[in-house]
Chains A and B, each alone.
Chain A
């Protein structure tokens, strides 16, 4: 299925990232590494109540504390904001009421962090506690206790109910129907870098904010709106970022607080969240309670899929409107659904707000569906890989909900994991307690539409080159570790015929770089890549024309790679820098722009554009597990990960994304739970209690890259940063079934849960034996 590939000199190579040596030596500056003269440190006071009216705040003792320079309260920043323009329900500091334990209520700026901390203890807040709704069921049962007065129905944040075809009729006619309930516990991103922001104001009132954000552009807009300043008076700089995974893709209280406190005091102000605050800032994976009904014909071909999903959103909207759609919209590949219905409802609860974590909205339904599909295979006596092959949706097709799929390497992914895991020889042969499991998935490569409606590009680059031979690319994209600072260098080197080292990137600074919408929805490489190709080709035309003129040959006879220009079929060569000089002499100062905007996509119905993407990636995993029946401990011996990324622009980085994703899925499956007690307190807001896997806990992983060459992607590339997370979880659950005959339908797969299911199974078997 691989389409023909063009010959490349840089693309496809395992190049080092241009900025990784800065990270290796400690020269890379992250937000908290920046210190400015006269800088103040601020701290945020947070609500101890899950739901409480704020009657008043007394700052007098705090203000009298030596070293305190300024305080801040909600009414000074009254404008509401939110990442989605239709659901702006957040305020930098709560004014009327606090909606979760940890909700931001006031801030203090002082000469140092310790003084600010001491001052927090001196602030008196008069709270009137309100009934706290700590679960979806409580939120649904108490529409009278409204967490958001503005919500149309009780505590419903968003409901989406979409039907495609006659699902009930098809289910009634199906040979096999699996009807199963699933629960996906919430989890959080836990980037190793805590959130940090720093603001400075110059004498003309120009504000600069450095922040550990993955959305500098949306932050720029939100700051302007909330502070009531024109966007041109604000500069947002994203320094090196210590991991994000979706956890830094909302505007956060700290960014507004440092900005406002800098404006109030005229001094630089910094806030660094503690690890505990990061757990409460959250915006992580939504808990979802799901019921799936999956029908197939006698051959295992899907006939109908029906889903009912309750989503626990926490205290605010964040991306929740999109989450409610993604929970259904992203499930319709890599398998063909003849009919489909989903009804998903996101509720507000008095807990930290959920949002987009890697694989936003679709990891939970994918888990449920892939386990249900395995159950159908079991009922039919079909091999789990075979049922997935049989339902393959194909290439160049439209899904039941109107999404356009281009390239699709899913079958090659299944082949790859089948081969590498020795599935055919081992699946049926492994001893009791050991098992193999498979799962597949699909994910978007960017969203077709920006978050706020507009006709402007979703990303752009400016490229400058001059007689030094140095190429400078100005890119607004956010490198969160995935390598978007380096992608332009590889692409421009490919297009311009220079070496990757010749290209330097100036990045994510709203004063210096063109707008890019941010690092979310797996959009960056796809969109930025196409923008770089456009700019590179414009410049290359000038370079070719200048060289052709000097050599008195047609421009079409000029070729270039890795720093050398040559005439096709002759020994004549020029260095890249000489070519640049010829072009600069012929055309004047050299520079070009490139930009990208998705064409119109999506289904022709309300919500049909949500989930529409210019390309879709595909993944298959096989997990090998060993279940200890005494302790209930699951050991994942190995994960084979096959991912169709369209084309690996740099296989080393693609593998890094696949491994990081699969690890994160594995962690959610076995360890992680963002849980709260009856008071709304996080059960363990530390990196010790919230257990993320260490080197010793992480399974061996084998990355198998599949290249389907996406016609619309840069050199055929699609995403690799989120898709490969999805199948880890159902593949492990399916492997556990194979190992010991229990179906894990609730996350995380703790030893206690495994033991309980094993005991229940043994009791069932005993009963059966007794009656037989």
Chain B
């Protein structure tokens, strides 16, 4: 079957201005994973249900499996690979590691990008706000406890092993 022609899309990925050739139906997730080989973003469902594919588009967390690659034209994409600052881990990555939040790790790319997006806008979120910000990212391993703790650690609200701390009813 004839396929629609590829188009050249200019965008910024993890701070680098690049051009990619994509078909109009190609998702941003496919372009990142299979075109650019940025495999840190994961595909858990390919239909917008799980959040594993979350990336930031101009700073806003989006589901890259239901975002067309052509929609990213002229925009800036951040993936997990772009979260660290050179060789230094982002505090979110360091906290997820230190808290034992990374079990299988498959959900965590999306989880960490959602968490970073939250903290950029709300550096000291409440537990409820953290839960809301991460509610589109399904994790099947952790029961979320250590993830919530890790976000609080990244925000400087508690130490690894202490959280998650609920300011409403402690203990």
Contacts and interface: CB of A to CB of B under 8 A. Distances in A.
B16 interface: no
- Interface SS, A side: loop
A750 B96 CA distance: 34
A20 B138 contact: no
A211 to B, nearest CB: 15
Given A192-B106, A695-B134, A24 B93 contact: yes
Nearest to B164: A700
A183 B160 CA distance: 41
A275 interface: yes
Interface in A659-675: 659-664
Interface string A31-49: 0110100000000000000
B70 interface: no
B18 to A, nearest CB: 18
Contacts of A114: 3
Contacts of B102: 17, 20, 23-24
B7 to A, nearest CB: 17
Interface residues of A, number: 59
Nearest to B1: A118
- Interface SS, B side: loop
A192 B50 contact: yes
B6 to A, nearest CB: 13
B145 A659 contact: yes
A661 B145 CA distance: 12
A189 B89 CA distance: 32
A26 to B, nearest CB: 2
B8 interface: no
Contact of B132 (A32, A696, A698): A696
A25 B46 contact: no
Interface string A718-748: 0000000000000000000000000000000
A696 B100 contact: no
Nearest to A689: B49
Nearest to B148: A695
B80 interface: yes
Contacts of B106: 30, 191-193, 242-243
Contact of A24 (B38, B97, B103, B137): B97
A419 B105 CA distance: 34
Given A25-B81, A30-B42, A275-B47, A20 B105 contact: yes
Contacts of B79: 26
B24 interface: no
A275 B42 CA distance: 13
Interface in B34-61: 34, 37-50, 52
Nearest to B45: A275
A695 B110 CA distance: 14
A444 to B, nearest CB: 21
A686 B93 contact: no
Contact of B140 (A26, A33, A191): A191
A26 B49 contact: no
Contacts of A193: 42, 44, 104, 106
Contact of A660 (B93, B131, B134, B143): B143
A655 B100 contact: yes
A169 B62 CA distance: 65
A716 B123 CA distance: 43
Given A23-B105, A687-B50, A695-B131, A700 B40 contact: no
B112 interface: yes
A35 B37 contact: yes
A424 interface: no
A756 B108 CA distance: 40
B54 to A, nearest CB: 12
Contact of A275 (B1, B44, B142, B147): B44
A700 B166 CA distance: 9
* Residue of A23, A114, A659 most packed against chain B (CB within 10 A): A23
Contact of B49 (A118, A243, A688): A688
* Residue of A190, A245, A687 most packed against chain B (CB within 10 A): A687
Contacts of A655: 100, 145-146
A119 to B, nearest CB: 10
A481 B105 contact: yes
Given A192-B52, A245-B140, A17 B93 contact: no
A696 B129 CA distance: 10
* Residue of B104, B108, B148, B160 most packed against chain A (CB within 10 A): B104
B137 to A, nearest CB: 8
B139 A192 contact: yes
Interface in B68-115: 79-81, 83-84, 89, 93-94, 96-100, 102-109, 112
Nearest to A190: B140
A190 B107 CA distance: 12
Contacts of A766: none
Nearest to B171: A702
A661 B109 CA distance: 22
A194 interface: yes
Contacts of B147: 695
A523 to B, nearest CB: 18
A694 to B, nearest CB: 5
Interface residues of B, number: 62
A696 B106 CA distance: 20
Given A193-B106, A275-B46, A686-B47, A695 B144 contact: yes
A652 B101 CA distance: 9
Contacts of B43: 32, 194, 272
A763 interface: no
A245 B103 CA distance: 12
A32 B49 CA distance: 19
B135 interface: yes
* Residue of A27, A656, A696 most packed against chain B (CB within 10 A): A656
A242 B104 contact: yes
Nearest to B109: A26
B161 interface: yes
B143 A659 contact: yes
A423 B143 CA distance: 24
Contacts of A687: 44-45, 49-50, 138
B112 A24 contact: yes
A141 interface: no
Contacts of B131: 695-696
A662 B146 CA distance: 13
B105 A33 contact: no
B105 A660 contact: no
A254 interface: no
A660 B101 CA distance: 11
B21 interface: no
A692 B34 CA distance: 28
B141 interface: yes
Contacts of B161: 14, 652
Nearest to A422: B171
Interface in A1-59: 14, 16-17, 20-21, 23-30, 32-33, 35
B46 to A, nearest CB: 7
A287 B104 CA distance: 27
29 contacts: A14-B100, A17-B100, A21-B89, A21-B93, A23-B108, A24-B112, A26-B41, A26-B81, A32-B39, A114-B3, A118-B1, A192-B107, A242-B42, A242-B44, A243-B103, A243-B106, A275-B44, A275-B50, A481-B141, A483-B103, A656-B141, A660-B141, A663-B142, A686-B45, A687-B138, A688-B49, A696-B132, A698-B143, A700-B166
Interface of A: 14, 16-17, 20-21, 23-30, 32-33, 35, 66, 114, 118, 189-194, 240-245, 272, 274-275, 480-483, 652-653, 655-656, 659-664, 686-688, 692, 694-696, 698, 700-701, 703
Given A189-B140, A243-B141, 18 more contacts: A16-B98, A17-B102, A24-B105, A25-B40, A30-B39, A30-B106, A32-B39, A35-B34, A66-B1, A114-B3, A191-B140, A192-B52, A192-B140, A245-B140, A686-B45, A687-B50, A694-B135, A695-B131
- Rank and list the top 9 A-B pairs by shortest CB-CB distance, nearest first: A26-B40, A242-B106, A481-B104, A663-B143, A23-B105, A481-B103, A33-B39, A659-B143, A687-B49
